Amino acid sequence: MAKYLSPEARKKRARRRKARKLAMYATCAVFVLLVSYGIVALIEAFTPEAEQPPELLQPIVSTDMQPNTDLESEGQWYTRVGPVQQTINEFEIISPDHRMFQLPENGSVDLSYFEDAVFVGDSLTEGLREYASIENAVANIATFVSAKNQTPKSFLEGVIVFPGNYRPTQNGVEAIVSENPGKVYITLGTNALTFMNRQQLIYYYDQLLTTLQQQLPDTIFYVCSITPTTVAEASRRPVFIYDAIYAANNEIAMIASQKGMHYINLHEVLAGEDGYLKPEYAYSDGIHLRPEVYTIWVQYLMSHTVHRADNPYIPGSPYYLG
């Protein structure tokens, strides 16, 4: 005969049974965890270590070889291992690269596109005026406001002696504005790198672009890069080392973009893989271009224009309408 248990005793027995079951479950869980940990440890011990991903590439840091400039260390793509220098954030461009701003190829126009264009610059632009007509007629179509040894500052403030007195005024800005151009191509900076530091160059370039834009609000502006020099010339004059021209072009491209102007990267057609002017393109001074190179220059300009429906695109161009 079963022993009589009061309701309270039965409840106590049920609680003890429940406690024993919980203790057993907890012991099993701890055992499973220990076994699992041991298995994982064994697997890791006998598994070869995985390859670590390569470190990101960082910009090369330049040694300042310009005694008369304020060139600080600048970034260059794809050169050295390490963290990548940030170029933009949500609100502003931090460390610009002029290639970020360059006008892309956008169909090709014919030479009539330059009928209302004014080319502004120094002796490099003078070469375009003197030699481009050898292979094409751009020098006979466009207007030139250019002279040797010019800088953005001289166009703003200086008295310019235009060769052959072919300009009615000796003030650079007045000469440009007097043409009421539909387009303006500006190529300046090579002389400025020699005569002033980069901060001064950018200051006067910014002032020149601002002044021209205020007086020619409906004009399309193309701001061309400072052209490269040869390695030999850069070794003779450190103001023309790759890093110096690269840094100046970065800032020129950014201020042009901020003003809604279009940046033309002539390095795409003039420079070799090392970033310097191709030796076969240059005269012995390593700066000025041979006559046939201006045809390459003009052809590049013809294929890099801001898109407009009324542009005179050539047959075969993506935008040609016939």
> How confident is the prediction along the chain (322 residues), in pLDDT tens digits per residue?
445 556 666 666 667 766 676 667 667 666 666 666 666 565 555 555 444 333 333 333 333 333 333 333 333 333 333 343 444 444 455 556 766 777 788 889 999 999 999 999 999 999 988 875 555 567 788 999 999 999 999 999 877 877 765 666 678 999 999 999 999 999 999 999 998 999 999 999 999 999 999 999 999 999 999 999 999 999 999 999 999 999 999 999 999 999 999 999 999 999 999 999 999 999 999 999 999 899 899 999 999 999 888 899 888 666 555 5
* Residue 103 confidence (pLDDT): 78
Outline where 136-197 has alpha helix (H): 138-141, 152-157, 172-178, 190-195
Is residue 307 packed enough to be buried (19+ CB in 10 Å), middle (13-18) or exposed (0-12)?
Answer: exposed
Residue with tokens 């000796």: 170
The pTM assigned to this predicted structure is 0.69
Chain centroid, CA 164 distance in Å: 37
Whether 246 and 74 have beta carbons less than 8 Å apart is answered as yes
Q: How far apart are CA 62 and CA 199, in angstroms?
A: 17
